[in-house]
Each structure stands twice: as structure tokens, then as C-alpha cells.
Amino acid sequence: MAQMTERMKELFNKVPAAILSTATRDGVPNAVPVGAKKIIDDETILISDQFLNKTLENMKVNPNVAVTWWEGHEGYQLKGTVTIETTGKLYEATARWIEDLGARAGFPLKSKGAVIVHIDAIYGVSPGPGAGKQLA
Ligand SMILES: Cc1cc2nc3c(=O)[nH]c(=O)nc-3n(C[C@H](O)[C@H](O)[C@H](O)COP(=O)(O)O)c2cc1C
């Protein structure tokens, strides 16, 4: 497991969306924006699935994902493995959060599942000498 720093977490919370990248069993890539994201702890994030299709199919057969977020020229990429919860406390809390989010935005939203990303490694993606280097 790898741990996010305060700065990585601050930026993750600040950006409106991150990019969730998955791949089929055969390695065909798929990258989509996700805004319904939360930090659970230094080693774990949660993404709510409302509209994921290819991404969900990919994660079912290949749990390896990358999540990338940035602002300006500062950015980070985590690599991790997912578990998907569609019942239980964490899912129910996620479902309530997404329902509230939809109500506030003025259109109904429903979470189909909570994608829990267990962070295995973190890399910098900022341009410059440290580009792509593993940070945690
Ligand atoms: C800014 C933005 C944020 C989004 N956030 C989410 C999200 O948090 N959860 C979700 O399920 N879909 C979200 N979506 C929608 C998915 O990215 C979109 O449905 C995507 O087409 C899923 O494609 P897939 O078939 O590759 O999984 C968001 C889209 C945009 C443009």
C-alpha cells in the first residue's frame, strides 16, 4: 500500500474531476472523468458509479486501475486495485451522498455502486525533472 500526502489529498479534493483509467483483460485501455470521488483514508479513495459501463466491465475482470488528477502544472497519478460494493454500510452511505448531490444539482442521481480504490503506488505527473517518478 502507498499513502497520499496532505498536498495530494488537498488537490484531489479540490479538482472537480479525476481521470479513472481501466483496461480490459486483454489490455484495451479506457479512461473517463469521475467527479463523485472521496478520500476514505491516506491509502484509499472511493468513486461512486452512476454511469460507468465499459469501466465497470473492465474492473470486474481486471481490478487494476490508475487515477490521475491535476491542477495547472501540478498533478499526481495513483495505481491501485479496486473492490466494488453494491450493498452494505459504505454503499448505503455513498447512495445517500449521491442522492443529496443530485437533489442539490436539481436532477436525480443514483449510485449503482461504491468503487473502493486501494492505493498501491503514487507517481508525480507534473512536467519537469521529476516527471513520472514514484512518490509513494
Ligand atoms: C466531469 C464529469 C464527471 C463525471 N463523474 C462521474 C462519476 O463520478 N461517476 C460516474 O459514474 N460517472 C461520471 N461521469 C460520467 C462518466 O465519465 C461517463 O458516463 C463515461 O462515459 C463512462 O464511460 P464508460 O463506458 O467508459 O465506463 C462523469 C462525466 C463527466 C464529464
The predicted model gives 29-38 an average pLDDT of 98
40: helix, coil or strand? Answer: strand
Q: Which atom of ligand 1 is nearest to the CA of 16?
A: 1
81 lines ligand 1 (CB under 6 A): no
Instruction: Assess whether pLDDT exceeds 90 at residue 106.
Output: yes
130 lines ligand 1 (CB under 6 A): no
Strands (E), 13-134: 18-23, 29-34, 37-41, 44-49, 64-71, 74-85, 113-124
Confidence of residue 38 (pLDDT cuts 50, 70, 90): very high
The predicted model gives 37-53 an average pLDDT of 98
Instruction: Assess whether pLDDT exceeds 90 at residue 130.
Output: no
pTM above 0.95, yes or no: yes
What is the spatial distance between Cα 123 and Cα 77, in angstroms, rounded to a whole number?
5
58 lines ligand 1 (CB under 6 A): no
What is the spatial distance between Cα 77 and Cα 110, in angstroms, rounded to a whole number?
27
**Domains in the chain: ranges and CATH:** 6-124 (2.30.110.10)
The predicted model gives 93-102 an average pLDDT of 98
The predicted model gives 87-99 an average pLDDT of 98
For 118, list phi and psi in degrees, rounded to 5: -90, 120
